[in-house]
Amino acid sequence: MLKNQELYGLYEARKALRSIDRLLVVEGYMDVVALAQRGFRNAVATLGTATGEAHYQKLYRYTDEVVCCFDGDKAGRAAAWRALESALSVLNEHRQLKFVFLPDGEDPDSMVRDQGAEAFSEFLQNATPGIEYLFSKLGEGLDLQSLDGRARFMGLANPLVEKIPAGILQELVRKRVQEIGGIETGTIRAEGGESKLRASKRDDGRFGSVLAQRLIGMLLKAPYLWSELDKSTQAEFLAHRKELGVLGRLVSLLHAQPDLDTNEILIAWSDEGDQQRLIEFAKKPVASSAQAWRQEFLDGSKHLLRQCERSRRQKYIAQLKASGDEEKLRDLLPSKSRLGDT
């Protein structure tokens, strides 16, 4: 048997226990021995290697709950993170993974010896579910009230979500990531082995990107935000209003009648199908507080307008290339380079 797959104490646990409700993974062989002597016959340890995918595949053959016990210091938490990453590919809605972190200077042997078996059992009962630990670690140091912070969070989370096998757990984790990111999640379903986001048919492009939808929701809840934009930014919005779809129509309405409130906007909306969708946007709670809306709206507006300008420029370049207008294309290239740096 390969060393990176073997688990010290697993054979003994299987012999001692008729059924294994959960397995406790500790870092040292002596911890396994000490815990077994005090009645914890379900402890196992890897043979000098980090807990990897092959270990979890073996563990979940015998139980649906695995609790990993690590030192509470920086090294222990780093090891826990690596263990969690390794486990994602074998998790599902039936399998639980949890983590506990020992107090400074303690190991399972010393803790159960000094505090007793009952105290150690209570300690294990307070284990943190692996998915909760995933979210807490990903959010460390990020301002989840800001667009940049949420974008960074989703950028870190999405590759990890993809490691989870397609199914209910992956869908729930993906949905939670999108909620933290402030995204309209729509309806999620498994199809063809992959989880896909099924957007409302009524959107069909009129409501734009996720960022555009976010700005629509904020404007509906706080129409005064339009007046918070400087004149040049308002002018850019109006210049792009056709390609912005519903958002473009909304800013045009607010530009003409800046004192409208939410109800007046909805009443003034002529398209009944879009009106119903706007009502849904207006009712949906947002992750950030009202105090944070202004800066988020300003930052989001600038980012969206840069995207629009980039898209417009790319289309123009494509047209010049298609027409063979090399002179205009050469004149445009420096601007294109600068745009790519933004």
Model confidence pLDDT, tens digit, residues 271-319: 767 888 888 888 766 555 556 778 888 888 998 998 888 888 777 677 7
Q: What is the CATH number of the domain that holds 29?
A: 3.40.1360.10
Token pair 């850019």 is found at 236
256/331 same-domain check: yes
Q: What is the pLDDT of residue 133?
A: 93
334/232 same-domain check: yes
Distance CA 152, CA 138 (A): 9
Q: What is the pLDDT of residue 340?
A: 41
Does pLDDT of 337 surpass 80?
no
Q: What residues make up the domain containing 90? A: 3-136
Within a domain: residue 94? yes
Within a domain: residue 203? no
Q: What is the CATH number of the domain that holds 193?
A: 1.20.50.20
Q: What is the pLDDT of residue 328?
A: 61
- The larger pLDDT score, comparing residue 202 to residue 98, is at 98
Within a domain: residue 45? yes
Domain count within the chain: 3
Q: What is the CATH number of the domain that holds 286?
A: 1.10.860.10
Instruction: Name the strand (E) or helix (H) holding 115.
Output: helix 108-115
Share of the chain above pLDDT 90, in %: 25
Distance CA 61, CA 327 (A): 68
Q: What is the pLDDT of residue 333?
A: 56
- For residue range 100-123, what is the model confidence (pLDDT) as tens digits? 998 888 888 888 888 888 889 999
120/23 same-domain check: yes
Instruction: Mention every residue, 6+ apart, whose C-beta is less than 8 A from residue 61.
Output: none
Q: What is the pLDDT of residue 249?
A: 92
132/154 same-domain check: no
Does pLDDT of 60 surpass 80?
yes
Within a domain: residue 121? yes
DSSP state of 90: G
Instruction: Mention every residue, 6+ apart, whose C-beta is less than 8 A from residue 222.
Output: 290, 293, 297
Q: What is the pLDDT of residue 294?
A: 82
Q: What average pLDDT is seen over the chain? A: 81
| Range name among 3-12, 167-176, 238-247, 255-264 with the lowest pLDDT average | 3-12
* Strongest mean pLDDT among 179-183, 198-202, 242-246: 242-246
- For residue range 169-181, what is the model confidence (pLDDT) as tens digits? 998 898 888 888 8
At which of 170, 198, 226 does a domain end?
A: 198
At which of 136, 160, 179 does a domain end?
A: 136
Within a domain: residue 283? yes
191/314 same-domain check: no
Within a domain: residue 231? yes
Token pair 């957007």 is found at 199
For CA atoms 103, 104, 109, 115, the dihedral sign is negative
168/287 same-domain check: no
